[in-house]
Structure 1
């Protein structure tokens, strides 16, 4: 049994890969859609990544490709001088299988695939439903061209579009399913308008605080609301137009200092706590920072909303009078403390108890357990 066959067998044993998708995964192996050059994390490099070339180091390349891990295929939107931010990848096979299972396709369905990336997901959809059933959209022309070459090699021919996935592709609609491999903070109204009533949208969804939810949204009748639940814990790269703001160093001294009412470790206690806190702290992004000379003593949890408010709290001695610094119209750390308290009062719900409603006008709100229980 080769490594990829072993990987598929493991996915099947855990229930992540159903028999209805097994043939598609076998016809379109992951390795056929990973470029010859990939990036692996390496703390000894200036940008945190090291290039692995298939020709120069085939053993490591194959080990990464046939692992269950994400494979980074692009940094910094393809710029050579970027800081080392992963901007395109081959997703974890377990998550790919899980998302396709939640998509719940049937023979004859049409699918709009948002974020072609390496081309693997659109290949799996073609292998399962046929070329004519799949339209795939990619915003990066270079990424799209490379994916097209790989698809052609396997004889798979979805309708390929270079464009902004947030706009969908109305010319090919309406679709029975929309599948996105890039995370959004807001579900685009265009996706709902291009999906048949009763159809399904599966997309990673998150907040700047916690990019963590997999949303399965059932599209309502025209002019009515659409409702869905978060069905899993995932973290995908953001749609480019919905990326959170960059967290900058504070440009002024704090106008408020004090002790913390919460151990900052508890602000990220687990994915469920972080997800719930993010829902109640709109626009707030976090970052850990410290000084290299004293990483333990200077370790701080930083927050920003990109509208003039920022905060930070020291991990060590967080209860002392100068532990919390805050500035701007919002008291961001106070909001985090209140949000976690609300999560405790709700009984520490896991993220799969939350759901999302999108109105006919495109407004969205999150609820707990049922659509009429809108989050406070």
Structure 2
């Protein structure tokens, strides 16, 4: 971690290595499994476990909120070490700072904070009691003692407020008002932030106290699992109605040509989610992107032969594919700005809007 964090944080990483907090049972990608993952137990497959835990990558530690027989959606993980270091750097927590750590997970980040600042300065909150209990056991073995709470981090934790720093390891679409209210003026909130279209931004928000606007920039490309209450809607089949068919005005692959394009598009259509689908009989010819706003509007665009008259289908009150194309054109016309040029303003009433290069250049109201 040299060159990324100062000596105090490097000491914390040495005292609390990630492998000491990753559970003995993890989930690794497996294309042959119906869920897309296979369970790896440290005692039965120690080499596979160590190989996964020793890499600079995230490690899935829970599927489907812990329920058995689910579709195999990752719902908790051990974060990528380099990204953890980046988040702690952006948090800029120092001696005497009180920190609320939202999303205890494996307990690793709260351990790092406790090792650097002292356990009495750190409160960590986790919504899943099973995950919280496992993290608690790991923290006890490491002789680190942040204050642990089981609860929904969207509400913060008022008994220990105010905080100098709030650190979240779960992505949000809307900054909870409680986070602003529970942070001191001039305090910092670091959280993954995204839209249903692009869960991709690491936001560093500076607060000015309750009743005042908070402003912040996106510091990094970062994708984390969603807060449970802010997970985007599923893209389901279109509701019956008139379907409008036509050609696409541009290559659909441009809509996700890189994370910066996707992030900019998501800011302008913050309620639209996309998925990719294909038919097993002919995947190449049927590969397509589907869009939904969760309120009855739906669209699909075929990747192959996208200029043909039937490549795009849209139904519902909105023309979602047209909106996506217009958002991409907006991004291109402004010089293809990277996501770090965007920022967010959170108003006292809870509404938030994104901007490009400064609050005086708003992109749109995110709180639709």
TM-score (norm 1): 0.95
Cα deviation, residue 16, structure 1: 3.2
Q: Deviations over 1:200-257 (max 9, x none)?
A: 0000000000000000000014422110000000000000000001111224365211
TM-align CA RMSD: 0.9
- Selected match of 1:320 from 278, 302, 308: 308
Q: Name structure 2 gaps, 5 residues minimum.
A: none
Cα deviation, residue 360, structure 1: 1.4
Matched-pair contact (CA < 8 Å) for 1:308–1:329: yes
Tell me whether 1:298 sits opposite 2:318 in the alignment: no
Matched-pair contact (CA < 8 Å) for 2:180–2:209: no
Matched-pair contact (CA < 8 Å) for 2:239–2:296: no
Aligned twin of 2:182: 194
Q: Find the aligned partners of 1:253 and 1:96 in 2 and give their Cα distance.
A: 47
Q: Find the aligned partners of 2:248 and 2:277 in 1 and give their Cα distance.
A: 17
Q: Name structure 1 gaps, 5 residues minimum.
A: 1-10
Aligned twin of 1:73: 61
Matched-pair contact (CA < 8 Å) for 2:126–2:149: yes
Tell me whether 1:287 sits opposite 2:275 in the alignment: yes
Q: Find the aligned partners of 1:75 and 1:197 in 2 and give their Cα distance.
A: 38
- Per mean C-alpha deviation after superposition, the further-off stretch among 355-364 and 315-324 is 355-364
Aligned twin of 1:7: none
Q: Secondary structure at the match of 2:180?
A: helix
Aligned twin of 1:6: none
Aligned twin of 2:41: 53
Structure 1 residue runs of 4+, over 6 Å off?
Answer: none
Q: Deviations over 1:121-145 (max 9, x none)?
A: 0000000000100000000010011
Q: Deviations over 1:177-207 (max 9, x none)?
A: 0000000000000000000000000000000
Matched-pair contact (CA < 8 Å) for 2:127–2:153: yes
Aligned twin of 1:260: 248
Q: Secondary structure at the match of 1:296?
A: helix
Tell me whether 1:27 sits opposite 2:15 in the alignment: yes
Tell me whether 1:145 sits opposite 2:133 in the alignment: yes
**1:125-274 to 2 correspondence within 5 Å?**
125-252=113-240, 255-274=243-262
Q: Find the aligned partners of 1:348 and 1:88 in 2 and give their Cα distance.
A: 33
Q: Secondary structure at the match of 1:356?
A: strand
Matched-pair contact (CA < 8 Å) for 1:226–1:358: yes
Matched-pair contact (CA < 8 Å) for 1:301–1:313: yes
Q: Find the aligned partners of 1:171 and 1:191 in 2 and give their Cα distance.
A: 13
Cα deviation, residue 104, structure 1: 0.4
Q: Deviations over 1:148-186 (max 9, x none)?
A: 011011111111110000000001000000000000000
Cα deviation, residue 58, structure 1: 0.5
Tell me whether 1:103 sits opposite 2:91 in the alignment: yes
Aligned twin of 1:356: 344
Q: Deviations over 1:283-310 (max 9, x none)?
A: 1000110001100000111001100000
Q: Find the aligned partners of 2:129 and 2:8 in 1 and give their Cα distance.
A: 32
Q: Find the aligned partners of 1:164 and 1:36 in 2 and give their Cα distance.
A: 26
Matched-pair contact (CA < 8 Å) for 1:254–1:325: no
Q: Find the aligned partners of 1:247 and 1:17 in 2 and give their Cα distance.
A: 41
Aligned twin of 2:111: 123
